[in-house]
Amino acid sequence: MMPFANSIYTANMNPQQQVWFHAEYERARKDEVAGVLFAFFLGMFGVHHFYLRRNGLGVLYLLFFWTGITAILGFIECFFMPGRVREYNAAQAAYIASHIAPTAVLRCAACGAPIEPDAVFCFNCGGAIAGSAPFRPQAAG
């Protein structure tokens, strides 16, 4: 089963958008085991930072690998890598989802304030919201 089959990222997507999301996510996601192995075996060179696109830290590790301090830090960071990879993957999923299906916000026609989809009255101006006219969907932003 796909990791985000019934998640907040794909809840408002049609089936075609869900397939597109999963294809893009599988291409962008990183593996936790690979991150741990990079930190453990190549952590002194900062490879685990390059793996998560943290290039500034990777370059810093490359500059100071000869001191031995980065080897110690790489060993310590191998215990934190699963959480960092999960954070990276969640950020990638949110980014992909926001570009595939941007959410539409319902707005009151009278005042322009955002309203809930099932609201009967606008909370801002108190205007009645009928099923036909007073609100119009607009792009979020």
pLDDT tens digits for range 131-141: 534 444 454 44
Closest by CA to 135, choosing from 12, 113, 102, 123, is: 113
The span from the CA of 12 to the CA of 138, in Å, is 16
Span 24-31, average pLDDT: 95
The span from the CA of 93 to the CA of 26, in Å, is 10
Is the pTM above the cut of 0.85?
no
Residue ranges per structural domain of the chain = 15-100, 103-141
The span from the CA of 28 to the CA of 112, in Å, is 37
Residue 122 banded pLDDT, cuts 50, 70, 90: confident
Q: What is the pLDDT of residue 141?
A: 45
